[in-house]
Amino acid sequence: MRLNPIFTSHMVFAADKPVRIYGEGEGDITVSMAGQIKKTAAQNGKWMAELEKMPCGGPYELIISSGTEKIVLEDVWMGQVYLCAGQSNMQLRLEETLFPQEQYESNGSLRFFATARMEDNEPFFPQDGWMISTRETAGQRSAIGYLAGNEMTRRKQSAVGIICCYQGASIIESWVPAGTFERAGIDIPLEQRHPERAAGKDAAWNEDGALYEYGLSQVVPFSLSGVFWYQGESDGLRAEGREYAAELKELIAVWRRDFGDEKLPFVIVQLADFCKAADPEGWKLIQAAQAEVGRTVNGVSTVVCADVCENHLIHPMKKEELSHRAAEAMDSLT
């Protein structure tokens, strides 16, 4: 009996959402928590048990057993769980921003889980499990994840779990199952895509569907309270910019389907202005597409940051006000 790596002590489940526990193995499995007991049987080497929705609270003990095997997870909470996904501006660490170190803080209500990444240059791994936020580790966290997550613990007065699933220099096409955009009638000629891809020098994670398969699939179908999405820099050419709204709508629809939540809230961080963009018109098209999706898709809010972020850096170092706006937008959706 093996649990998916996302199930460890100190974890956070999304309150008022189905509590799905799953893994691999054979035979009958029993799951119990907070007075609930569910039994299930593995099929084709995989199993999943689903507990009833629960309100915010904890700490609980989660027990999973099969025959003589028994796994006990401690300090488990019901609260808010947010997926922080996208590319390098979501990945940007707090220590790389202008947020002062003297304001780093420990917060026992804020916990982080990091998915495996194809580019293995982060200090935290799935085998580290869910980690309680401390002053000593804050600087190495996603700035958006830490700042928005910290604020959400106060806004919601509950535990908050941040699932980090990002990859610098990643295109949106890699974040959906292979063939998704083609099936939706979205077709951008290779020569009109960003230069590295057109030249066949693209990173392995930008193959069609690569990050969906390698990163996001580690999380599905874990129940989420919402998604923070910060991406678009690697799609900033005109041909891609014209299709980005359609692509983003497809991504939202696919993720809502796969997470089993047709109303899953999304907060989109609109790209800041960037005076050094290779294709200024394409960059503006991405910004316009992000704004359009926030206006036209239910349960989606787009956060503007052009007025609070530097325009000469592709990775703006001012992230505090932007994170506040992201938290405020998520709070309004949830």
Residue 200, pLDDT score: 62
Residue 198, pLDDT score: 60
Overall average pLDDT of the 33-55 stretch? 97
Residue 288 has pLDDT above 80, yes or no: yes
Residue 299 has pLDDT above 70, yes or no: yes
Distance separating alpha carbons of residues 203 and 45, to the nearest angstrom: 33
Residue 119 has pLDDT above 90, yes or no: no
Q: Burial code of 246-276, b = ≥16 C-beta within 10 A, e = fewer?
A: bbbbbbbebbbebbbbeebbbbbbbbbbbee
The verdict on whether omega for the bond into residue 221 sits within 30 degrees of 0, i.e. cis, is yes
Contact between 171 and 198 (Cβ < 8 Å): no
CATH of region 79-333: 3.40.50.1110
Residue 253 has pLDDT above 90, yes or no: yes
**Tokens representing 202?**
């693209």
Q: Quick count: other Cβ atoms within 10 Å of Cβ 278?
A: 11
Distance separating alpha carbons of residues 310 and 325, to the nearest angstrom: 16
Residue 79, pLDDT score: 98
Residue 191, pLDDT score: 79
Residue 180 has pLDDT above 70, yes or no: yes
**Tokens representing 48?**
């999943």
Contact between 132 and 111 (Cβ < 8 Å): yes
Residue 196, pLDDT score: 66
**Tokens representing 1?**
């009996």
Overall average pLDDT of the 179-183 stretch? 96
Overall average pLDDT of the 11-22 stretch? 98
Overall average pLDDT of the 74-89 stretch? 97
Residue 203, pLDDT score: 81
When mean pLDDT is compared across 120-124, 127-131, 157-161, 289-293, the lowest value belongs to 120-124
Per-residue model confidence as pLDDT tens digits over 185-222 = 998 887 787 766 666 666 888 889 999 999 999 999 99
Contact between 77 and 33 (Cβ < 8 Å): no
Banded model confidence at residue 117, pLDDT cuts 50, 70, 90: confident
Overall average pLDDT of the 99-113 stretch? 97
Q: Where are the domains of the chain?
A: 2-77, 79-333
Per-residue model confidence as pLDDT tens digits over 259-278 = 999 999 999 999 999 999 98
**Tokens representing 282?**
């394409």
Given this structure, which CATH class describes domain 2-77? mainly beta
Residue 26, pLDDT score: 93
Distance separating alpha carbons of residues 303 and 272, to the nearest angstrom: 10
Residue 76 has pLDDT above 70, yes or no: yes
Per-residue 3-state assignment (H helix, E strand, C coil) for the chain: CEECCCCCCCCEEECCCCEEEEEECCCEEEEEECCEEEEEECECCEEEEEECCCCCEEEEEEEEEECCEEEEEEEEEEEEEEEEEECHHHHCEHHHCCCCHHHCCCEEEEEEEECCCCCCCCCCCHHHCCEEECCCCHHHCEHHHHHHHHHHHHHHCCEEEEEEEECCCCCHHHHCCCCHHHHCCCCCCHHHCCHHHHCCCCCHHHCCCHHHHHCHHHCCCCCCCEEEEECCHHHCCHHHHHHHHHHHHHHHHHHHHHCCCCCCCEEEECCCCCCCCCCHHHHHHHHHHHHHHHHHCCCEEEECCCCCCCCCCCCCCCCHHHHHHHHHHHHHHC
Residue 197, pLDDT score: 67
Position 28: which residue type?
D
